[in-house]
Chain A
Amino acid sequence: EPEVTQTPSHQVTQMGQEVILRCVPISNHLYFYWYRQILGQKVEFLVSFYNNEISEKSEIFDDQFSVERPDGSNFTLKIRSTKLEDSAMYFCASSATSGNPHEQFFGPGTRLTVL
């Protein structure tokens, strides 16, 4: 069964450093997403991406964040200058179509720890 994969599973970085989180969505999917979950809190939407551009972003997704689909398979989330409060589990998701019904498939997540 096709699945979304994410690397690395755990990333530790120093405050102020840049990190890139990588995702390989399901191959025939067209919509891509990033969500995050701060420990013990709810899953929060960050950004959605379609046709090589951002289609929706949340207030959390400020200028420190960017997304890219550098090739036909990867989807990346870059945080330019990490802060302590960026420590969270980051989930990538993909879906085949928008509109109802809409089913997003999630990867296993990357745990980001900012020291």
Chain B
Amino acid sequence: GNSVTQMEGPVTLSEEAFLTINCTYTATGYPSLFWYVQYPGEGLQLLLKATKADDKGSNKGFEATYRKETTSFHLEKGSVQVSDSAVYFCALFKAAGNKLTFGGGTRVLVKP
């Protein structure tokens, strides 16, 4: 079946540091890939998405590229802020099944 694996946290960074969160997936065919963010005490918000190989999703300074050859969708941000402290979830969607499959989440803590 489909699955998503992402690096375990917590990831602790200083402000303005570079952030990478690794995400790999297992799925047949061509899933759509997503990153969701969960700020403390809040629900899940879509951060960015990519629907086909080599697509790059971007939003709020975050980027992720859909790599079919390595089945990966790593999240990056060049200069993090304290306000980026949150839990980040990688997820895939396949139309057959009509559901999102989430990774375990990575908690990111950015210190001033």
Contacts and interface: CB of A to CB of B under 8 A. Distances in A.
Interface of A: 31, 33, 35, 41-45, 48, 50, 55-56, 58, 91, 93, 98-109
A56 B46 contact: no
Contacts of B46: 103-106
Given A35-B100, A43-B89, 6 more contacts: A35-B102, A56-B98, A93-B44, A102-B32, A103-B46, A104-B100
Interface residues on chain B, size class: 20 to 34
Interface in B26-51: 30, 32, 34, 36, 42-46, 49, 51
Interface of B: 30, 32, 34, 36, 42-46, 49, 51-52, 89, 91, 93, 95, 97-105
Nearest to A6: B43
Contacts of A55: 98
Contact of B102 (A31, A43, A105): A43
Contacts of B102: 35, 42-44
A88 to B, nearest CB: 13
Given A33-B99, A35-B100, A45-B101, A103 B49 contact: yes
A56 B51 contact: no
B32 A108 contact: no
A48 B43 contact: no
A97 B47 CA distance: 19
B44 A42 contact: no
A104 B98 CA distance: 10
A108 B93 contact: no
A100 B32 CA distance: 7
A42 B105 CA distance: 6
Contacts of B105: 42-43
Given A100-B51, A100-B95, A101-B49, A109 B43 contact: yes
